[in-house]
Structure 1
Amino acid sequence: MHKLTIDLVSDVVCPWCVIGYFRLNQALSRLPHIEATLRWHPYELNPRLAAGGENLREHLAKKYGTSVEASQQARNTLTELGKEVGFEFHFFDQMRIYNTRKAHQLLLWANQQDKQLPLKLALWRAYFQQGKAIDEDEVLLEVAETVGLERTACQQILNDESWAKTVANTEQQWLQASIHAVPTLIIEQKYLISGAQTSDILFDVLQQLTAKTEHGH
């Protein structure tokens, strides 16, 4: 059994991060000799976004110059890719994009409770499938409770400025490591994979890495 640590730098409102994770999962399912430990790290696409967020289409038009047609095409593509990996995206006209600082606070803390992956998946479902406002404490608390996290403890984390600083400091470390896009995977703290690569590419990379280890390289 080969043990690998895979660090995933991602944002909760990044659809390609969803695709990237499920593709990684597909690759790992074809490599039963690999035991992977996944560690999630924060990245905020919009750290200055105000409470209540912005209409997603308007936000993309303002930030990237994305037309309505291009936005719709991207949504169609993501919906199809989601189906391929078993995740349903429910995009809609009034969908909003939100500040994710507090969501990342909970995710960092949830790692200590062995609930990081369940919480990440639950947050993706809340945002991409139910259109929930994931910058609101009440929404975050409800989602956290669904994965067995204690509400009062979660509220303390959301209110604790030191956790917000930890998120910001962690993000700064990744920026200093020249990571400026998500998703980004780092395997064994050495091998960096940027973007949502296909499961076949991830399979090949992981297979090559374990073969190298076997031959002592």
Structure 2
Amino acid sequence: MSDEKSITVDVVSDVVCPWCFIGQKRLDKTIAAATDVEVHIRWRPFQLDPTIPPEGKDRREYLVAKFGSDERIREIHARIEPLGEAEGINFAFAAIKVAPNTLDAHRVIRWAGAAGEVVQNRLVRRLFQLNFEEGANLGDHVVLINAAREAGMDASVVETLLPTDADVEAVRTEIATASRMGITGVPCFLLEGRYAVMGTQDADTLSDAIRQVAAAKARGELEKAN
């Protein structure tokens, strides 16, 4: 398929954001339906809370401090769960014991991108599953290394790099860039680096946006705007 019939979507997200998991599932539907457009996905980092320490926090205590009560937390989960179920997600919020700092997870996602789009997509999907359906701690290096191996990465390289500061500043710079662009919540879908679709949109909305931008690209209108 020619470049004129392709489009790049940069997905700004955090792997502990339930709306991002739902958004990922809907994006999959969008890509499957948009057979006339070749869609390339790149995952970009965002941290819902970069102040969480590297060892993480007790998730229940963290959420109570953030939302005020267990009842409020149950209300939030009850609103998200059926939306996830509709997309094939079995949210297991009670199984999640740790609210992790996701900086290291984003580093691994960055390295997965160097291994190719397929590997990166596979890793992101696995991290969402581990956190939300299996209650795994995404701040745990063993969890991240195993996920990298499952995604097809060289796990020994990930194991070597994770204890170092490799790409820490690069990831933080990307997050800061997203903030400067006005991205304050995720998911955010950036089409061809210039058109933003904010929030967890339905598959039809994403499909329409992708087709419109792809059509504008094919007509040469994106180049004219430069």
* TM-based fold match above 0.5: yes
**Could you tell me how far apart the structure 2 residues matched to 1:194 and 1:66 are?**
27
**Could you tell me how far apart the structure 1 residues matched to 2:154 and 2:79 are?**
37
Report what 2:106 is aligned to: 104
CA RMSD, aligned part only? 1.8
- Say whether the 8 Å CA contact 2:96–2:137 is kept in structure 1: no
Structure-to-structure mapping, 1:15-94, within 5 angstroms: 15-63=18-66, 65-92=67-94
- 3-state SS in 2 of match to 1:39: strand
Q: Does 1:7 pair with 2:10?
A: yes
Q: Which runs of 5+ in 2 are unaligned?
A: 222-226
Could you report, residue by residue, the CA deviation over 1:102-143 in whole angstroms, capped at 9, with x for unpaired residues? 111111011011211111111111111111111111111122
Q: Does 1:147 pair with 2:167?
A: no
Q: CA deviation at 1:93?
A: 6.6
Report what 2:207 is aligned to: 203
**Could you tell me how far apart the structure 2 residues matched to 1:27 and 1:14 are?**
20
Structure-to-structure mapping, 1:152-191, within 5 angstroms: 152-191=156-195
Greater shift, 187-196 or 199-208, is seen at 199-208
Q: CA deviation at 1:215?
A: 5.1
Distance 1:39 1:93, change over 3 A: closer
- 3-state SS in 2 of match to 1:159: coil
User: Alignment length, in residue pairs?
Assistant: 216
- Say whether the 8 Å CA contact 1:11–1:100 is kept in structure 2: yes
Distance 1:162 1:70, change over 3 A: same
Runs of 4+ in 1 over 6 A off after TM superposition: none
Distance 1:212 1:161, change over 3 A: same
Greater shift, 78-87 or 29-38, is seen at 78-87
- Say whether the 8 Å CA contact 2:107–2:167 is kept in structure 1: yes
**Could you tell me how far apart the structure 2 residues matched to 1:206 and 1:163 are?**
31
- Say whether the 8 Å CA contact 1:60–1:66 is kept in structure 2: yes
* 1:130 aligned residue (134, 150, 156): 134
The AA in structure 2 aligned to 1:159 is: P
Identical amino acids, percent of aligned pairs: 30
Q: CA deviation at 1:183?
A: 0.7
Q: CA deviation at 1:162?
A: 3.2
Q: Which runs of 5+ in 1 are unaligned?
A: none
Q: CA deviation at 1:94?
A: 5.9
The AA in structure 2 aligned to 1:19 is: I
**Could you tell me how far apart the structure 2 residues matched to 1:38 and 1:212 are?**
19
- 3-state SS in 2 of match to 1:192: strand
